[in-house]
């Protein structure tokens, strides 16, 4: 029987060389980040200079992901309850009901989706200046 070299099999690996000249599809995260769409629902932000402490965000959250806490500093003199929301990102499903209902429009969803920290507490509550829980006052 005559032996026939498998030319296709020999040349096939070299077809991978074309990828040397293509732009990589992957990103060098965390140095490069993927751009988020305009309406992306990332971590919550609360502008405490506008938050009036009404607690509507806490009331509407079906996942009970929000509790009202006393911040270290009251940044809005109109915040009569002197409380601001704190979000547990382990419970949140990013439905955005809390931002929709916020009368002061202080609570929004940012485009931030990456949180790196050595402190596990940071992954639960990422709104800055959240301070102590109401029952820890
Ligand atoms: S986005 Fe939805 S689940 Fe998350 S804290 Fe707001 S209301 Fe609760
Ligand atoms: S609904 Fe808005 S204004 Fe009211 S407590 Fe929540 S973040 Fe503050």
Tokens linked to 90: 């382990």
Domain boundaries, the chain: 44-136
Report residue 4's pLDDT band, with 50, 70 and 90 as the boundaries. Answer: confident
Mean pLDDT (the chain, rounded): 86
Closest CA to 88 of 66, 110, 70, 71: 66
Between residues 131 and 81, the one the model is more confident about: 81
Ligand 2 center to residue 35 CA distance, Å? 28
Residues whose beta carbon lies within 6 Å of some atom of ligand 2 = 46, 51-57, 85, 102-104, 106-107
- pLDDT tier, 114 (very low <50, low <70, confident <90, very high otherwise): confident
Specify whether domain 44-136 bears CATH 3.30.70.3270.
yes
- How many angstroms separate the CA atoms of 80 and 85, rounded? 14
Q: How confident is the model at residue 136 (pLDDT cuts 50, 70, 90)?
A: very low
Q: If pLDDT is split at 50, 70 and 90, which confidence band does 127 have?
A: low
Which of 96, 126, 127 is the pocket-test mutation for ligand 1 (most atoms within 8 Å of CB)?
A: 96
- Of residues 99, 73, 113, 67, the one with CA closest to residue 86: 67
The model's pTM is 0.77
Q: What is the separation of C-alpha 127 from the centre of its chain, rounded to a whole number of angstroms?
A: 11
């Amino acid at each position: 029987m005559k032996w026939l070299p498998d030319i296709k099999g020999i040349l096939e690996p070299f077809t991978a060389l074309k990828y040397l000249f293509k732009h990589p599809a992957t990103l060098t995260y965390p140095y490069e980040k993927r751009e988020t769409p305009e309406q992306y629902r990332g971590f919550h932000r609360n502008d405490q200079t506008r938050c009036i402490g009404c607690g509507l965000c806490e009331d509407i959250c079906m996942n009970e992901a929000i509790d009202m806490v006393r911040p270290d500093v009251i940044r809005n003199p109109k915040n009569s309850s002197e409380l601001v929301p704190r979000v547990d990102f382990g419970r949140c499903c990013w439905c955005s009901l809390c931002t929709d209902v916020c009368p002061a429009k202080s609570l929004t969803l940012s485009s931030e989706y990456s949180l790196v920290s050595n402190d596990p507490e940071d992954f639960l509550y990422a709104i800055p200046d959240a301070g102590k829980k109401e029952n820890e006052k």
